[in-house]
Amino acid sequence: MNIIIVGCGRVGETLAEKLNDDGNIVTIIDMSAKKVKNIANKFDIMGIVGNGATHAVQQEAGIDNADLLIAVTNSDELNLLCCMIAKKAGNCQTIARVKNPEYSTEAPYLKDELGLAMVINPELAAAEEIARVLRFPSAIKIETFAKGRVELIKFKIPKNSRIIGMSVKEIISKLHCDVLVCTIERGEDADIANGNSTFEEKDIISIIASHKSAQDFFAKIDYKGKTIKDAIVAGGGVLTHYLCDILESSGISIKIIEKDLKLCEELCTQWKNVDIINGDTADQELLMEEGIDKTDAFVTLSNHDEENMVLSLFAQNSGVEKVITRINRIDYDSVINRLELDTIISPKNVTADMILRYVRATQNTVGSNVETLYNIIKDEVEAAEFIIKAGSPIIGKPISELKFKPDVLIAAILRNDQVIIPRGYDVIEAGDAVVTVSKLVSLHDITDVLK
């Protein structure tokens, strides 16, 4: 596809990288000549300096031949204007990032009235992910497939766990659990699991299962995460707003620490049942006074990655069982891995996954549609959900007879309301939702997993 990205911030850069790696023709637009030059040179793509909301600049970027324009500047209004001009000038598909809470309820209206392909709210999507993890604190990360019926859960194996030394195939034979182990991360190594893979202390593994089967699995391995009753949130920005909205009726007591007095007053007005503390989260004495050593969860949501990482480490050292850290930068992966932080939330990656899913869905030509797409291990392992069409070559044969490329798993099948964790004798049918896990990033169609 021929894709134009307006906005060269963190989200724009991530999209440029991922969409370019997928083989699309990418052009970026930004007012900052420095940003345009850096990203264009880094990924060997075309860059235009100028206002992406003007007809002239869009024409220079090739709007007449574009298939998709993505507007991800820091201004919601500018993003919407970019999309309106693109629809008139090039009649291409358009995607706008809209993060202001005032617009969140207007998203369906904006999408329909402006003819947008998607309205994306990264902060809302990230808040939903945080809420899922707080409700199931044993997990580092939780993703959902098949409209929430199938869960991909990533967690770290604790000390003295029952499954240390056990092999993947023994999960079924000894524990009788209907789950599928997808990946095992050990140090800097990350692998697709096979039946002979064994578990070691501190391994990070991901499993796929229905919600009920996942609960059964964690009960059988004696992994009893403490139920979250209260949480301290560092930072009172947009993401925090959405998190309060989602958790308002969850029974989790929230305390927000924010140093901007005006923002504290706004939060107090909107959230009557939330404790708002005006103070600097960098003040360790304040954190201790507010009970960081007694809280069940600590969530760092400031816009400063370094501050978030330091606060998270302090919280872990203070004995907080569940720590969630917001990370925005794309160049901190090697540092983060060494710090052994608990759960990492990245709005930019959520946005990139949503847009990649849309782009790949429009390119399906053989026997399936991409419905859901997640990076399980950044740039290494991907999980994708496909809806299987009639005539697909993957239909009608037992899975054991299909010839898959290396490092591919058929992880789950959803048929009507039935969740099937597939074994060799299972057969895929037309209309099934099929979840794959593979090291073959950039899958566009279910047939891409076959030799």
- Model pLDDT for residues 39-93, shown as the tens digit of each residue: 999 999 999 999 999 999 999 999 999 999 999 999 999 999 999 999 988 889 9
Residue 257 one-letter amino acid: I
355-449: CATH homologous superfamily?
Answer: Regulator of K+ conductance, C-terminal domain (3.30.70.1450)
Cβ neighbors of 375 (< 8 A, separation 6 or more) are 349, 353, 381, 382, 441
Residue 438 one-letter amino acid: S
Strands (E), 244-332: 253-258, 275-278, 297-300, 322-326
- Per the CB < 8 A criterion, the answer to whether 297 and 231 are in contact is yes
Rounded CA-CA distance 391/46 in Å is: 39
Rounded CA-CA distance 375/307 in Å is: 25
Any idea which architecture 230-345 has in CATH? Answer: 3-Layer(aba) Sandwich (3.40)
* 400-434 pLDDT, tens digit each: 999 988 888 899 999 988 899 998 899 999 999 99
Which fold is adopted by the domain 136-220?
Alpha-Beta Plaits (3.30.70)
Rounded CA-CA distance 138/228 in Å is: 10
Asked whether this chain's domains 2-120 and 355-449 adopt the same fold, the reply is no
DSSP state of 366: S
Query: What's the CA dihedral at 437, 439, 443, 447 to 10 degrees?
Result: -70
* Full-model pTM: 0.83
Give me the pLDDT at residue 227, please: 85
Residue for token pair 């990370």? 327
The alpha carbon of 188 is separated from its chain's Cα centroid by a whole number of angstroms, namely 21
Residue 212, judged by CB atoms within 10 A of its CB (0-12, 13-18, 19+), counts as exposed
Give the domain ranges of the chain: 2-120, 136-220, 230-345, 355-449
- Per the CB < 8 A criterion, the answer to whether 404 and 428 are in contact is no
Per-residue pLDDT at 320 exceeds 90: yes
Closest C-alpha to 153, from 200, 229, 216? 216
* 343-366 pLDDT, tens digit each: 999 888 888 878 887 887 776 555
Per-residue pLDDT at 440 exceeds 80: no
Rounded CA-CA distance 305/347 in Å is: 12
Per-residue pLDDT at 367 exceeds 70: no
* 231-262 pLDDT, tens digit each: 999 999 999 999 998 988 888 999 999 999 99
Q: What is the dihedral sign for C-alpha 55, 58, 63, 67?
A: negative
- Per the CB < 8 A criterion, the answer to whether 438 and 410 are in contact is no
Cβ neighbors of 218 (< 8 A, separation 6 or more) are 138, 224, 225
User: How many helices and strands (H and E) does the chain possess?
Assistant: 15, 22
Average pLDDT, the chain: 89
Can you tell me the mean pLDDT for 328-349?
A: 78
- Per the CB < 8 A criterion, the answer to whether 20 and 40 are in contact is no
- Per the CB < 8 A criterion, the answer to whether 348 and 356 are in contact is no
Maximum CA extent, the chain:
66
Closest C-alpha to 301, from 309, 289, 293? 309
330-337 own/partner pairs: CB under 8 Å, 24+ apart: 330/10, 330/13, 330/14, 330/17, 332/305, 333/378, 335/309, 336/309, 337/188
3-state secondary structure of 276: strand
Give me the pLDDT at residue 348, please: 81
Which fold is adopted by the domain 2-120?
Rossmann fold (3.40.50)
